[in-house]
Amino acid sequence: MGHTSNGYFDWGGRTFTTNPGSIVPYCMGFTLFFIAGLPLDLFSWIGTALAWPEGRGEDYQSAALAPSIFLGVSGGTLLGAPFFPFGLPWWNPDRDDADAATPPPAQQPAPTTNAPKTSEPLPAYDPAEAPAGAPGH
């Protein structure tokens, strides 16, 4: 349950908070509906504490707050979706703010070697066994 609600929360945040046309309605809807779901969190917290006694991690917190997270993201989606098309000219879901300041790294070719793929030592080189036409012969 915690992993699902956490994934839903991440989806809503990536979709609506990166779009300038829907960020304010989404945040308003998320806040209002999240608060409305707080009484239900008492039941999910008890169930999570019984089923997951160690009580650590992000998934534990998401499971305990699952009703509020589901209602918050759903409410934010309901209020943010009508305004989503207004921000499409400026919306780039693949770009983070940190990515805007730094250029992408240059692609480096993978190093190639003719070395054998085993960890056995190479045999010693004997110049007398060099094939005809090799340099120095």
**What is the model's pLDDT at position 121?**
67
Q: Residue with structure tokens 């309901």?
A: 78
pLDDT > 70: percent of the chain:
66
Determine the average pLDDT of the residues in 47-55.
81
Determine the average pLDDT of the residues in 116-129.
65
Whether 38 and 68 have beta carbons less than 8 Å apart is answered as: yes
- Residue-wise pLDDT for 16-43, tens only, equals 878 788 888 989 999 999 999 999 989 9
Question: What is the pTM for the complete model shown?
Answer: 0.59
Run of H or E including 115: none
Q: Residue with structure tokens 């793929």?
A: 117
End-to-end CA distance of the chain: 74
Residue 6, both tokens? 């956490």
Cα 83 from Cα 62, distance rounded (Å): 28
